[in-house]
Amino acid sequence: MSPASQVPTTDAAPVQFLTPSGELVRSAENEEYFPYLDSLGEAEYTRFYRDMLTTRTIDITGTNLQRQGQLGLWPPSHGQEGGQVGSAHAAKAQDHVFPSYREHAVGLIRGVDPLGYMALFRGITHSGWDPNDPKNGNFRLYTLVIGSQALHATGYAMGQQFDGAVGTGNPDADEATIVYFGDGASSQGDVSEAFVFAASYQTPQVFFMQNNQYAISVPVSRQSRTPLYRRGIGFGIPSVQIDGNDVLAGFAVTAKHLDDARAGNGPSLIESLTYRIGAHTTSDDPTKYRMNEEVESWIARDPITRLEAFLRSQGIGDAFFEDLKVEMDDFSSDLRRRTLELQPPSANDMFDYVYSEPHAVLEEQARWHANYEASFSDATTDGSHA
């Protein structure tokens, strides 16, 4: 028997509540998630729609600004809004969120001003937002070192457990952690190590893997011989696959597993099957490694158009969508204006974050540097100095 033929080949269908044409379906296998689905009504549906559209607007604005030389880089989340918006709404205020670098929807929903993304990718700040500021909803910093945030999250979740913030039975106090990472990251040692510790310590944690089918140019088929969610099962972590372009599945499944985590039932892994419609970043040309037909087939499963179809079937009319278009235009202009107004930091700021306490040698260097910079202020127009 060849090794490949020993691998089980049957997998449950990914959890889906909203079909690509926007029809609500309930299959008996997904019954455990029904209460979470049933907790949603028109207010939540329209909120999800608005958040997905806002995220796409941020993406378009960021991409345009990069193309005009105003940002150094932009990593688009176009196509991945369903899983992101659904899962972000499943997290409670007291939960902690560890992103990768394209979770623009998640940060938005946690309270981050998207201007922070622009500042970060304009290269004028190391972070873009303060994760300790309560208004940013415990949304940690973007992490470009692939997979390392899984370790940060697992360590944090171990701390939540040691602090007794799990399984007390108080739904407003019990905490969980959710960490976002990609299919490529799941091939990294850091993620495997995070799985080991999460399983051993039964951390209050959801691993939210966005399988957008590519790690830059490397397709999932090259990275793994089994569906990626099975990687979690090997570590003893309950794992489930969802239709990541279905915002309702994203919400219901994440809400259930975060509830389990807060209740002290340990970690779980959600593989959110989706597709990166745009480039990996604005430095990438995806036409070099994938076919247009493939992209088109995923555009037909777009998370926003399917929710629009569902909303229309629920009686939401043109006015709602027309008003949102105007709102998004204003939002984009405002974000663009504020980005262009961002000022570069003072070069002397670099001395502020070296040590936690003041340091005499560094203070001397900072004084010298400030004087040096000031010496240019009386430069004449021909470049010489007075």
Ligand X SMILES: Cc1ncc(C[n+]2csc(CCOP(=O)(O)OP(=O)(O)O)c2C)c(N)n1
Which residues bind to ligand X, rule: CB under 6 A?
102, 144-146, 182-185, 212, 214-216, 276, 280
* Residue 323: CB minimum distance to ligand X, A: 32
CB atoms inside a 10 Å sphere around CB 343: 7
* Residue 214: CB minimum distance to ligand X, A: 6
Q: Rounded to an integer, what distance in angstroms lies between the CA atom of residue 359 and that of residue 11?
A: 59
Contact between 266 and 203 under an 8 Å Cβ cutoff? The reply is yes
Residue nearer to ligand X on the CB measure, 141 or 185: 185
Contact between 290 and 216 under an 8 Å Cβ cutoff? The reply is no
Residue nearer to ligand X on the CB measure, 89 or 104: 104
**Going by DSSP bridges, is the β-strand pair 177-182/205-211 parallel, antiparallel, or unpaired?**
parallel
Quick one: tokens of 324?
A: 């949102």
Q: Give per-residue burial for 221-235: e unless 16+ CB within 10 Å, then b.
A: eeeeeebbbbbbeeb
Contacts with 373 (C-beta within 8 Å, 6 or more apart), sequence order: 347, 348
* Residue 120: CB minimum distance to ligand X, A: 15
Q: Rounded to an integer, what distance in angstroms lies between the CA atom of residue 5 and that of residue 9?
A: 9
* Residue 171: CB minimum distance to ligand X, A: 32
Residue nearer to ligand X on the CB measure, 83 or 86: 83
* Residue 274: CB minimum distance to ligand X, A: 10
Residue nearer to ligand X on the CB measure, 86 or 182: 182
Residue nearer to ligand X on the CB measure, 45 or 195: 195
Place of tokens 């936690």: 356
* Residue 211: CB minimum distance to ligand X, A: 8
Among 301, 278, 247, CA closest to 82: 247
Among 45, 22, 16, 17, CA closest to 306: 22
Quick one: tokens of 105?
A: 């929807």
Residue nearer to ligand X on the CB measure, 103 or 308: 103
Residue nearer to ligand X on the CB measure, 30 or 213: 213
Tell me the HSE value of 273 on the side-chain side, using a 13 A CA sphere: 14
* Residue 228: CB minimum distance to ligand X, A: 10
Residue nearer to ligand X on the CB measure, 148 or 339: 148
* Residue 28: CB minimum distance to ligand X, A: 32
Among 128, 121, 82, CA closest to 272: 82
**Residue nearest ligand X by beta-carbon distance:** 182
